[in-house]
Structure 1
Amino acid sequence: MRLTDVLPDPLRRGFAFLRAELAPFPGRTNVMLRALLTSAIVIVVSLALEVPELPLSLLVVFYVTQSNVVITRLVGLMFIVGSTLAIGSSILLLKFTFDYPLIRIVVASALFFASVYLMRVLKIGIVFFIVAIVIIYVQSFVDQTDEAELLIRAVLWVWVAVNYPIALALAVNSLLLPAEPQLQLHAEIRRQLSTVDAQLTHLIDGGPGPAPVTPQAVEQGALTLQKLLRFAAMRDARYRDTRAWQLASVATVSRLYLAAATLSASAFRPNDAQRPALLALRSNCRALATALAADQPYRIDPTLPPSAGDTSDTVMDMQRALHALSDLSARGVPAGQSSAQEPMLAPDAWTNPAYARFSLKTLLAVLVSYTFYNATDWQGVHTIMLTCLIIALPSLGASTQRALLRMAGALGGSALALFAIVFVIPQLDSVVGLLLLVLPIAAAAAWIAAGSERIGYAGVQLLFTFSLAVLGQFGPTTNLTEIRDRMVGIVLGVAVATFVQIAFWREGESDALRLKLASMLRSVSALLHAPAADPPMAEPVSYAQRQLQSWTALADCEAMLARVAIEPNWEEGEQPRLTMRAQTILAQGREIMLAADALRVALDARTPGEAVDAVRTVQRQAAACIDRYADELCASPPLADRPRLVIDVPAPPDGSPDAPLWSAARHLTREITGLPSWHPATPHADALRRPGEHDPAT
């Protein structure tokens, strides 16, 4: 018996969450090594040259070091611009208001309000986030000294401590351990096609099968290819010029990967007559992998035998996808047009009152914290002000998620710092010993920071809190009260910011989640509306590409649900009901997508006839049913009833060639009727199901 088997359910789920979030994935080790190497150089340089604010320098290293060179350079540039603008604004503020505390606070508040407002409405909001946080950080400097020269020197050293680590991080990321998005894209394509090859080899040769491909893996694979293609186009003009071809290639790879998942879950076993077609398919998939790795046009081998008519529908669909891409390559792909750029300024920047309310709430939380900080004369809790800004995010769920990660990271960093100060630092007498202490912790923090947004910020906070206690001075520290004070400041900042966000103009995402779920269902419905005879790559937006868009919508809903689930709520029982309904819709949405794809594959494999026409009618009715459910979900209040498809889906006799077709149609209708009812007065989750009905969420 394992230990997790005897743990309570919350702990078991927590361990499962950590296991999933801390698991390695392609590129994570590279990010960790780049952050670790840059951190080691920064520690040695700062200690050797006595550059102050070493913890801030390490924090900047972790923010700038991203998954590839494109994002790293973009974030580094914005940090340089933001820090320079912030330091310049702070010096001007101090020059004219140093002797007038009230005016200084009023002007600093106005600058802070404007920065937070621009942080919300501008695409490059991180620049003004840096401006806002430096303006608040400088106020704590003013309270510690009354000498203007020392204050200005401290502010200028902040600029040095922020920008020289950026230069080092850019050098390390560009020269020593470059993570080029083009190489990452090729590696992901190679990984997915290797999985397809392994599945085909298993069908041909038998033996133990490869690890099954889950629907979640298909979703993640499609999203990863899309993201990497976007970064590759930002990095390399050649990818922008051939954008249509690259998008078609990525869509084809995703389609083959989904087919591999279908094959791994099916009971299809080829006979001797079907094996030559599988051999030809495997050869064509390998040729595709070779062509994409070399950035060459793909040509299907005409000497290989085509798929037999009695082969699995999924195998025939894979062959059609390869033929379609080959035909597209033979016809020639028009030069890719530059995609529509997102506006730098939000369209409703000056008309939506939510932005001003958000800025005012954040300013109120900071001023309350600043008043407490000065009234108690408790210098160690200056993190209370920074926390109010750091966890200020557009929605209450996102703010709560950031607050939990900040507290978890700070608690872990404080515990490690306490252990190091008491037991390890008294034994150290050189920089080498200090590096041996700090670098393993930096490596663990970098590994966490390289994870998803559900855990990444905790790694950044862990390193920053640890370095504040251990590396805040140029010599050994023995003051344990600083660790306590910073943790108290973080907890108080979270409490103040959360209270203000709940009490004034609460910005929850519950209603937005319903609209997002409805949008996701409409994108799934569009897959059913698409004509089955549509050549997959004949149009700029093909079926496979529309399917990628549906996966993206599904992933956006999952991220929003994770935030909504942790929103503080005064209404007892409402949050669990909302979470249950949304989880059920997400699970069914994924299953409907897979069922719609299986039905499309079955339709493409059949010649036109009465059965095909009847199933197309079922397909259209199913799409209309999903659209109607999405419209009802968007109503305020929502009045979505469980879909009830009144469709005559006959069961043909066994052995009939139409049996797989009608089976796919029945499977689609079953998944659609699994969508839950959503009414504001639904008392509990059990009311979402009819008596004796199976719970689709399980």
Structure 2
Amino acid sequence: MTPRAAPSLLAELAPQPGRMRDALTITGLVLVTTTLAMALRVPEAALSCYLIFFAFRDNAGDTIFTALKLIAAASLAVGLGVLLLRGVLEDPMLRLAALAGFTFVGMFLSQASKLGPLAGTAGFVFAFMLTLVDVIPEPELINRAFEWIWVVLVLPLGLMAFWSALAGPRPLARAEEHIAALDRALLAPHGEQAKALLDEGLQPLDEYRKFARMLGEARGEEATRLLRRADDAYHRLALAEAGLIPAPARAAPPPEREPFLLPGAFSDPRPVRFAIKVLAAVMITYGFYTAFGLFQIHTAMITCFYVALGTRGETHHRIVLRFTGALIGAAIGMAVMFWLMPRADDIGGLLLLLAPPTFIAAWIGLGSERIAYAGWQLALCYFLVLLSGFGPPSGISAATSRIVGILFGSAVIWAVFATLWPESARDDARDAIAEMDTALSTAPPPDSGRAIARLRAPLARARRLAEMARYEREADLSADIALAETRYHAFLHRSRHAPA
């Protein structure tokens, strides 16, 4: 985090409702996954444990649905991967073309469709499976490797789905908690908590309502009442923040159905440029470790898929978090391996060594986007050191190589995004402000929380991008954001006094 970033690191790490519960849940799932992986001798336990951080959600419905989607995607990827390799196994150029194609399509859809990161993850799985041919030349062994990849992915996801169905936080309860938070924020409508809740819009509540309907917790009239209450709570807080008397909304329209392809998917050049930049970084890292026979640093290519974001500021921020988390996780892992691991000669000892750092990583990972990714990387690098085999690590070379790969991949993605079609978070923030001004000049008086949230969305995006712009060492946009917020509040005042 930059020194000027707000809130402070201590505030980011402060306890929040549900944070302790979720951190303990993640830690428990990691320990159970490790136990099963060691008992069944499932390889790449570090990846299985890291997948829990990647797929974990704050309510049972979302966690179950995410786990099932990823299981289906993994099954499809493994099945198609086996068929695909039969056609390209003997032709390196065809294999390289397939790798490039999956990378480009996956990263394009991650920016241009509602699949988002899931599309990028699918592209990565396909691309990574194609690279296994470089180290496993025998077709029969590749088939077995694919089978194990499926187990590595499905084991933690199945556990997550089972636990969530059994004891996970219910989406209806999470919706009630969120509405209560909106109501509590009325006591300090100009505070940071109120601003954060308003900037989120109604999307979190829409998600909770959707999953509550899927699990049969809120259907029909009950779901309609929940929609109305959520809209009213947001409407009251938005008015209070603008200095107006809180009042219930006049209407509560349902959320609009999101199309598969986002607006401007093909007319806007940025999704294509983003996919090309990630593809260039993937090819550079893959070409480097293949040419020099350094498959042990293959995490360099993996890093390219998970660090890249839309602007330079966002990407630089993600790289800073990845570097920080990776170095802390590696340092803790090596210290534990040298001083404590020799005393842990059974699975119980291993779990005792895993639990505290996993909990710390989970606590950080459950924070806002300012720090969350550092927790993920802390966990990953710690797992890479301690879970490199089925017994106590005999050395640090394997873990060190993977960590070096992470650092190398981060450097490559930074260089590519800085030189090829560099996109500034500052410019995007100003574009978002202009989008808000256009909307304010044409919009009718908002009569619902959803209408206000729609008008506020560009301002929230501009605020977030302005913070990311600090990682580009660009001029501070605080004054621009403050003026935009003043215009937004002035519009709400005019709307309240407009004739009905």
Establish whether TM, by shorter chain, passes 0.5.
Answer: yes
| One-letter identity of the residue aligned with 2:474 | P
Distance 1:193 1:93, change over 3 A: closer
- Which ranges in structure 2 are unaligned for 5 or more consecutive residues? none
| One-letter identity of the residue aligned with 1:50 | R
Pairing 1:132-143 to 2, within 5 Å after superposition: 132-143=123-134
Distance 1:344 1:261, change over 3 A: closer
Q: Report the secondary structure of 1:473's partner residue.
A: coil
Pairing 1:404-443 to 2, within 5 Å after superposition: 404-443=320-359
1:249 paired to 2:229? yes
| One-letter identity of the residue aligned with 2:211 | R
The answer to whether the 8 A contact 1:65-1:173 is kept is no
What CA distance in whole angstroms lies between the structure 2 residues aligned with 1:111 and 1:261?
46
Residues 380-435 of structure 1, C-alpha deviations (whole Å, 9 max, x = no match): 21111111222233333322222222222111111111111111101111211111
Residue in structure 2 matched with residue 107 of structure 1 by the alignment: 98
RMSD: 3.2
What CA distance in whole angstroms lies between the structure 1 residues aligned with 2:102 and 2:304?
16
Residue in structure 2 matched with residue 486 of structure 1 by the alignment: 402
| One-letter identity of the residue aligned with 1:145 | I
1:516 paired to 2:426? no
What CA distance in whole angstroms lies between the structure 1 residues aligned with 2:199 and 2:375?
24
Pairing 1:286-435 to 2, within 5 Å after superposition: 317-318=245-246, 321=247, 338-435=254-351
Match of 1:20 among 11, 32, 42: 11
Distance 1:79 1:214, change over 3 A: same
| One-letter identity of the residue aligned with 1:159 | W
Q: Report the secondary structure of 2:293's partner residue.
A: coil
Distance 1:426 1:542, change over 3 A: same
Task: Give the CA deviation at 1:557.
Answer: 1.6
The answer to whether the 8 A contact 1:392-1:399 is kept is yes
Residue in structure 2 matched with residue 227 of structure 1 by the alignment: 203
Residues 78-109 of structure 1, C-alpha deviations (whole Å, 9 max, x = no match): 21222123222322232233233333223332
Distance 1:32 1:194, change over 3 A: same
| One-letter identity of the residue aligned with 2:164 | N
What CA distance in whole angstroms lies between the structure 2 residues aligned with 1:466 and 1:77?
27
The answer to whether the 8 A contact 1:240-1:338 is kept is no
1:588 paired to 2:483? yes
Pairing 1:200-239 to 2, within 5 Å after superposition: 214-223=190-199, 226-237=202-213, 238=218
Pairing 1:581-620 to 2, within 5 Å after superposition: 582-591=477-486
What CA distance in whole angstroms lies between the structure 2 residues aligned with 1:376 and 1:187?
54
Distance 1:28 1:554, change over 3 A: farther
Residue in structure 1 matched with residue 372 of structure 2 by the alignment: 456
Distance 1:589 1:242, change over 3 A: farther
Identity %: 27
Distance 1:12 1:370, change over 3 A: closer
The answer to whether the 8 A contact 1:243-1:337 is kept is no
What CA distance in whole angstroms lies between the structure 1 residues aligned with 2:220 and 2:13?
34
Residue in structure 2 matched with residue 679 of structure 1 by the alignment: none
Residues 539-567 of structure 1, C-alpha deviations (whole Å, 9 max, x = no match): xx516554444444332221222233323
| One-letter identity of the residue aligned with 1:471 | L
Task: Give the CA deviation at 1:158.
Answer: 0.7
Residue in structure 1 matched with residue 474 of structure 2 by the alignment: 576
TM-score, structure 2 normalization: 0.87
What CA distance in whole angstroms lies between the structure 2 residues aligned with 1:111 and 1:262?
47
Residue in structure 1 matched with residue 44 of structure 2 by the alignment: 53
Residues 513-542 of structure 1, C-alpha deviations (whole Å, 9 max, x = no match): 212012334566789x84xxxxxxxxxx51
Query: Mean Cα displacement is larger for which, 136-145 or 402-411?
Result: 136-145
Task: Give the CA deviation at 1:371.
Answer: 1.9
| One-letter identity of the residue aligned with 1:561 | A
Distance 1:338 1:155, change over 3 A: same
Residue in structure 1 matched with residue 459 of structure 2 by the alignment: 554
Residue in structure 2 matched with residue 158 of structure 1 by the alignment: 149
Residue in structure 1 matched with residue 68 of structure 2 by the alignment: 77
The answer to whether the 8 A contact 2:106-2:124 is kept is no
Task: Give the CA deviation at 1:195.
Answer: 6.5
Q: Flag the structure with more relative contact order, 1 or 2, with Cα contacts below 8 A and sequence separation at least 6.
A: 2
The answer to whether the 8 A contact 2:232-2:448 is kept is no
- Which ranges in structure 1 are unaligned for 5 or more consecutive residues? 1-9, 200-211, 264-313, 531-540, 568-574, 604-615, 620-698
Residues 589-644 of structure 1, C-alpha deviations (whole Å, 9 max, x = no match): 3455557767888x7xxxxxxxxxxxx8xx9xxxxxxxxxxxxxxxxxxxxxxxxx
Task: Give the CA deviation at 1:487.
Answer: 2.5
The answer to whether the 8 A contact 2:388-2:398 is kept is no
Residues 486-524 of structure 1, C-alpha deviations (whole Å, 9 max, x = no match): 232122212222222232233334433212012334566
Task: Give the CA deviation at 1:37.
Answer: 1.8
Distance 1:146 1:193, change over 3 A: closer
Residue in structure 2 matched with residue 189 of structure 1 by the alignment: 179
What CA distance in whole angstroms lies between the structure 1 residues aligned with 2:235 and 2:258?
28
TM-score, structure 1 normalization: 0.64
What CA distance in whole angstroms lies between the structure 2 residues aligned with 1:390 and 1:225?
26
Match of 2:390 among 445, 466, 474: 474
The answer to whether the 8 A contact 1:73-1:170 is kept is yes
Task: Give the CA deviation at 1:157.
Answer: 0.3
Task: Give the CA deviation at 1:27.
Answer: 2.4
Task: Give the CA deviation at 1:474.
Answer: 0.2
Query: Mean Cα displacement is larger for which, 159-168 or 94-103?
Result: 94-103
What CA distance in whole angstroms lies between the structure 2 residues aligned with 1:425 and 1:165?
24
The answer to whether the 8 A contact 2:297-2:401 is kept is yes
The answer to whether the 8 A contact 1:79-1:130 is kept is no
1:66 paired to 2:57? yes
Task: Give the CA deviation at 1:122.
Answer: 2.7
Q: Report the secondary structure of 1:96's partner residue.
A: helix
Task: Give the CA deviation at 1:477.
Answer: 0.7
What CA distance in whole angstroms lies between the structure 2 residues aligned with 1:173 and 1:369?
38
The answer to whether the 8 A contact 1:373-1:382 is kept is yes
What CA distance in whole angstroms lies between the structure 1 residues aligned with 2:5 and 2:450?
36
What CA distance in whole angstroms lies between the structure 2 residues aligned with 1:12 and 1:514?
23
Q: Report the secondary structure of 2:394's partner residue.
A: coil
Residue in structure 2 matched with residue 179 of structure 1 by the alignment: 169
What CA distance in whole angstroms lies between the structure 1 residues aligned with 2:64 and 2:273?
33
| One-letter identity of the residue aligned with 1:171 | F
The answer to whether the 8 A contact 1:365-1:388 is kept is yes
Task: Give the CA deviation at 1:478.
Answer: 2.7
What CA distance in whole angstroms lies between the structure 2 residues aligned with 1:424 and 1:553?
51
What CA distance in whole angstroms lies between the structure 1 residues aligned with 2:101 and 2:236?
55
Q: Report the secondary structure of 2:15's partner residue.
A: coil
What CA distance in whole angstroms lies between the structure 1 residues aligned with 2:57 and 2:417?
30
Task: Give the CA deviation at 1:378.
Answer: 2.4
Q: Report the secondary structure of 1:576's partner residue.
A: coil
Q: Report the secondary structure of 2:471's partner residue.
A: coil
Q: Report the secondary structure of 1:182's partner residue.
A: helix
The answer to whether the 8 A contact 1:82-1:130 is kept is no
The answer to whether the 8 A contact 1:401-1:563 is kept is yes
Residue in structure 2 matched with residue 612 of structure 1 by the alignment: none
